[in-house]
Amino acid sequence: MRAAIAALLLTLGLGAAHTGAASAAPPPESAAAAPPASAGLLDAMRRDLGLTPAQAEERLRAEKRAVEVEKAARQRTGAAYAGSWFDPATGRLVVAVTDRAEEAEVRALGADTRLVRHDAAALDRAKARLDGLRAPAGVAGWHVDPRSNSVVVDVVRSERRNPAVRAFVDRALAGGLVTVAETAAAPRTYAAGTVGGDPYYTGNVRCSIGFSVHGGFVTAGHCGRAGAAVRGWDGSAMGTFQGSSFPGDDYAYVSIHSGWWTVPVVLGWGTVPDQLVRGSAEAPVGASICRSGSTTRWHCGTVLAKNETVNYSQGAVHQMTKTSVCAEGGDSGGSFLSGDQAQGVTSGGWGNCSSGGQTWFQPVNEILARYGLRLHTA
């Protein structure tokens, strides 16, 4: 029984994805016939997104179609591509382009279009310029926003008149392609002090497991440094951090000892297996996304932005994905899912699951590529 529970806990947590190279193979053909999500995930979407089970299932199917359309649209439009996002109101992907001649091609793929001024490459260059600046604590982060066709700098509302914040904003605006928005609070990581019975511990920190990979699991880098020992739910030796990066990145790989093994499942905390993991296809901006963690269990929301630089007190972390999902201490490292596709591991955010907030995750495909890992899939 102990070994069985240990195996289940190995996949307990949250998840999410993105960045750079994709590593996992696409889902097998049999996955197409599988339900788009488990009952537990659909229930979380009902609670957090106000959807009926039927609406949730249809949205997941539409988002899965949008993933394929986005890949094709990016290839077709080339240098005219300016980003894309999923529109829940229509159930379709919207693709921004800088050349009117490309609109018909994109619409033929099954997407809507928006004509904009700046292409994705120009926006990425503008963001990279900000990545080279040192931001004060009152600047929460910045990201490329395809909907506004700009780089959005998020400033903590209470700090907007701070001289250092104003100086950073002025410098950002001077470079062009930048707009400024306000956010309620500064982001923080979601590690927590030791509490008996939770998924894994390193030192006096409790975090959540993200996704099983062959030989171990991936999680957040701020939960432990390379070489740190990991204890399991019962306090027994579980594994070792083989690689860890924070700040700059926020990801880690833990190898596991004998007596523990991996399964392609993400759970709601303390429940029976909930959701099979079948791949890691990246969901678009606007798509629904759900998170599972050892503190707050299942919660859902939407993808708000990608490739965001998050300005934690410990230092900036790059290439993060921002979501409207809530989280709390101890949820760090857990799994973000879109349907049955792994998205990434929980990093941090602001707020809580009583009053709401925002949470960022480190895309899982970047972690797999960084450590040469293979996602354990069903």
* DSSP element (H, E) containing 192: strand 192-193
Contact 340/278 with Cβ under 8 angstroms? yes
Contacts (Cβ under 8 Å, ≥6 apart) of 195: 206, 330
Distance CA 118, CA 153 (A): 17
Residue 282 structure tokens: 């990246």
Catalytic status, residue 294: no
Active-site residue, from 118, 143, 222, 376: 222
Catalytically annotated residue among 208, 245, 294, 332: 332
Rounded distance between C-alpha atoms, residue 12 and residue 54, angstroms: 26
Q: Name the phi and psi angles at 376, rounded to 5.
A: -85, 115
In the residue annotation, 250 being an active-site residue is answered as yes
132 within 8 A of 191, measured Cβ to Cβ: no
List 198, 250, 274, 331, catalytic entry: 250
Paired tokens of 298: 């299942």
Which pairing describes strands 273-276 and 288-293: parallel, antiparallel, or unpaired?
unpaired
Q: Structure tokens of 32?
A: 């197409």
Instruction: Let me know: does 319 contact 128? Beta carbons within 8 Å.
Output: no
What whole-number distance in Å separates Cα of residue 52 and Cα of residue 110?
25
Residues assigned a catalytic role: 222, 250, 332
